[in-house]
Amino acid sequence: MKKQENITPILKITDLKKSFGDNHVLNGFTMNLYEAENLVLMGKSGSGKSVMIKCVVGLMQADAGTIEIMGKDITTLSQKEFNNLRTQIGFLFQGSALYDSMTVRENLEFPLRKFPEYANKSKQLVLEALESVGLKNAIDLMPEELSGGMKRRIALARAIILRPKIIIYDEPTTGLDPITAKEIIQLMIGIQQKFKTSSLIITHDMDCARVISNRMILLIDGINYIEGTYKELAASKDKKVQEFFK
Amino acid sequence: MVISLQIVQKTKKFLLEIGELAYFAKRFFKEVFTKPFEFKELLLQSYKMGNQSLLLVGITGFILGLVFTLQSRPTLMEFGAASWMPSMVSISIVRELGPVIIALICAGKLSSGIGAELGSMRVTEQIDAMEVSGTNPFKYLVVTRILAVTLTLPLLVIFGDTIALFGSALIENLKGDVSFQLYFNKVFNALKFSDMIPATIKTFFFGFAIGLVGCFKGYYCKKGTVGVGEASNTAVVYASMLLFILDFIAVFISDIFFEI
Ligand SMILES: Nc1ncnc2c1ncn2[C@@H]1O[C@H](COP(=O)(O)OP(=O)(O)OP(=O)(O)O)[C@@H](O)[C@H]1O
Ligand SMILES: [Mg+2]
């Protein structure tokens, strides 16, 4: 990935620090996400992966460090500017996080409600998004009527409805059977090719990482411990890195 | 020694929580007056809450009227004051019993419902998802719900009071041969503005308290399903307690202004 280094990254995280009391979760985490790449972030449970991405989308405030999304430092933005920038980021939550008092259609329409310009296109956008995940028939169902795999797909459809430049996946395959997990991975690859998005994928699933990643970063002890392609990391002699590939 | 330390800690935790609740209320007042307003969600919530509680409030009110009249009849008869029945019942119900009992029922129903709903939305990251998609969840979920309870509770209380008076009239009609018309004539003669106004004003505060506590507990729900149960449980306890405190304050104030 040498040749990408002179291109400006679409998401640039520098020296990020975050603690909860004495629990120092992030101690200077640095990473870049480039256009149209699939970057996999791995780390043990509790290593701070979710905390890191929550800082990126503004659900948590970092203690120190900078986050630049498409060249803009998020700490310098007003709430309104930040909200607009956030529409460039799709977020797939660890547990899908569908609104369970709303139908699938209302779930997908929810991100559109802040944009009057989408008002007359919303029907079409919802159908297109559902089509991308192969669940057009589920449009009038409630989330409780969906299986875990279907929920994940609907959540994915909701994440891509505003055509974001960046998609962040928090453990997209956890809790699914291997076959459904593979289907979700194929969907993610399909979406990446169709919309040319950059993806930041957090996962524990080595198969997923192998199939989908252009590049990987391991988050260990609160820093970006090592980065490289799947092959490079698999060949690493470092003990802490090898633990992941056992 | 250990026990006194525990008491100190518990008190500290309790006071901290009160502070947080006050801060939450402050945030509500800040956000309720700023755009965008979520009218649609407010209407939907008001409808839901009214609809959910209507039957419950009706039954409670009816039984309240029945029982209260049945219990007081013998005593009033003894003093030969049975004809005072309508005035006594209506004043007690409209001024105190109706608002407090119906608010308590609604605290059980609405506060726990809101606590559980927002709590499970917090735990399953639905509130985070809302925030990420650019909708302010405090406005969309909290402000609308607090307003909805504040506006619907007074209506529910008026409805409940009316049903309670019907219950009472029914007993008087069956036992004392008082016609409904005579009963309600006496009721309207007995009730004064100074009974109705403070009683109605305080129900707005009751509604606010129920909504506030339910939302507060749900919005800051701890992770896990245990957290959701705890949120809805403590919401009822706190809301009921707050109702009695507010009622005390309300009676105190109306005593100064209206000299009951
Ligand atoms: N709101 C919070 N308050 C206090 N501590 C927190 C909070 N959120 C996360 N933590 C702590 O931060 C650490 C990292 O949590 P995080 O959820 O980021 O882990 P993770 O890497 O995503 O793990 P997993 O793979 O299990 O999802 C944990 O030790 C957790 O206890
Ligand atoms: Mg996580």
**Residue A49 belongs to domain with CATH number:** 3.40.50.300
- Specify if A6 maps to a domain: no
* Beta-carbon contacts of residue A221 (< 8 Å; ≥ 6 apart): A27
pLDDT at B251: 87
Average pLDDT along chain A: 89
Comparing B224 with A177, which gets the higher pLDDT? A177
Percent of chain A with pLDDT over 70: 98
- B52 interfacial to chain A (CB closer than 8 Å): no
Average of per-residue pLDDT across A194-214: 90
- Specify if A236 maps to a domain: yes
**A chain contacts of residue B224, beta-carbon cutoff 8 Å:** none
Average of per-residue pLDDT across A188-215: 90
Percent of chain B with pLDDT over 70: 99
- Specify if A26 maps to a domain: yes
pLDDT at B57: 96
pLDDT at B39: 92
B46-77 burial: b if 16+ Cβ within 10 Å, else e: bebbbeebeebbbebbbebbbebbeebbeebe
pLDDT value at B154 more than 90: yes
pLDDT value at A204 more than 90: no
Q: Which domain holds residue A174?
A: 11-88+164-245
Q: What are the pLDDT digits (tens) for B5-40? A: 899 999 998 899 999 999 999 999 999 998 888 899
pLDDT value at A112 more than 70: yes
- Give the whole-angstrom CA distance, residue A130 versus residue A107: 11
Band of residue A218 on the pLDDT scale cut at 50, 70, 90: very high
- Is the shortest distance between the CB of A20 and ligand 1 below 6 Å? yes
Last residue of a domain, one of A155, A181, A203: A155
* Cβ distance of B125 and A94 shorter than 8 Å: yes
Residue in B closest to A59 by C-alpha: B128
pLDDT value at A2 more than 50: no
For the CA of A25, the nearest ligand:
1
Average of per-residue pLDDT across B212-240: 92
Nearest CA residue ID for atom 29, ligand 1: A46
Band of residue A83 on the pLDDT scale cut at 50, 70, 90: confident
- Specify if A1 maps to a domain: no
pLDDT at B48: 94
Contact A44, A94 (CB under 8 A): no
Cα B61 to ligand 1 centre (Å): 49
B188-199 burial: b if 16+ Cβ within 10 Å, else e: eebbeeebeebb
Q: What are the pLDDT digits (tens) for A227-240? A: 999 888 888 888 88
Q: What are the structural domain ranges in chain B?
A: 38-257
- Specify if A2 maps to a domain: no
pLDDT value at A127 more than 50: yes
Question: Do A120 and A141 reside in the same domain of the chain?
Answer: yes
- Give the whole-angstrom CA distance, residue B171 versus residue B165: 10
- Is the shortest distance between the CB of A172 and ligand 1 below 6 Å? no
Question: What is A25-91 written as a DSSP string?
Answer: EEEEEEEEE-TT-EEEEE--TTSSHHHHHHHHTTSS--SEEEEEETTEEGGGS-HHHHHHHHTTEEE
Mutate which of A69, A110, A125, A144 to test chain B, going by most B C-beta atoms within 10 A? A110
pLDDT at B78: 87
Nearest CA residue ID for atom 17, ligand 1: A50
Q: What are the pLDDT digits (tens) for B87-125? A: 888 999 998 899 999 999 999 999 999 999 999 999 999
pLDDT at A54: 93
State the nearest Cα–Cα gap between B137 and chain A, in angstroms: 12
Is the bond leading into A172 cis (omega within 30 degrees of zero)? no
Last residue of a domain, one of A129, A155, A181: A155
Cα A204 to ligand 2 centre (Å): 10
Average of per-residue pLDDT across A31-39: 91
- Is the shortest distance between the CB of A78 and ligand 1 below 6 Å? no
Average of per-residue pLDDT across B64-90: 88
Average of per-residue pLDDT across A175-184: 88
Across A7-21, A80-94, B6-20, B138-152, the highest mean pLDDT is recorded for B138-152
pLDDT at A5: 55
**pTM of the entire predicted model:** 0.90
Question: Do A234 and A169 reside in the same domain of the chain?
Answer: yes
Average of per-residue pLDDT across B136-150: 95
Average of per-residue pLDDT across B230-250: 93
Q: What are the pLDDT digits (tens) for A154-172? A: 999 999 998 899 999 999 9
pLDDT at B259: 63
Average of per-residue pLDDT across B191-209: 90
- Is the shortest distance between the CB of A203 and ligand 1 below 6 Å? no
Question: Do A81 and A173 reside in the same domain of the chain?
Answer: yes
**A chain contacts of residue B129, beta-carbon cutoff 8 Å:** 91, 93, 97, 99
- Specify if A70 maps to a domain: yes
**B chain contacts of residue A98, beta-carbon cutoff 8 Å:** 126
Q: How many domains is chain A built from?
A: 2
- Is the shortest distance between the CB of A137 and ligand 1 below 6 Å? no
Of ligand 1's listed atoms, the one at least distance from the Cα of A23 is: 29
Around ion ligand 2, residues with a beta carbon closer than 5 Å are A 50
At A217 the three-state DSSP class reads strand
Question: Do A22 and A62 reside in the same domain of the chain?
Answer: yes
Percent of chain A with pLDDT over 90: 51
Average pLDDT along chain B: 91
pLDDT at B196: 86
Token pair for B170: 């029914």
Q: Is the ipTM of this complex over 0.85?
A: yes
B149 closest CA partner among B221, B17, B235, B47: B47
Contact B125, A93 (CB under 8 A): yes
- Give the single-character DSSP code of B35: S
Question: Do A38 and A132 reside in the same domain of the chain?
Answer: no
**B chain contacts of residue A93, beta-carbon cutoff 8 Å:** 125, 128-129
Task: Please state whether A42 falls in left (phi above 0), alpha (psi between -120 and 50) or beta.
Answer: beta
Average of per-residue pLDDT across A110-121: 86
pLDDT value at A4 more than 70: no
State the nearest Cα–Cα gap between B69 and chain A, in angstroms: 43
Least CB-CB distance to B128: which of A83, A86, A93? A93
Query: Can you tell me which residue has the tokens 């962040």?
Result: A168
pLDDT value at A1 more than 70: no
Cα A51 to ligand 2 centre (Å): 7
- Specify if A168 maps to a domain: yes
Q: What are the pLDDT digits (tens) for A65-75? A: 999 999 899 98
Cα A170 to ligand 2 centre (Å): 7
Question: Do A118 and A206 reside in the same domain of the chain?
Answer: no
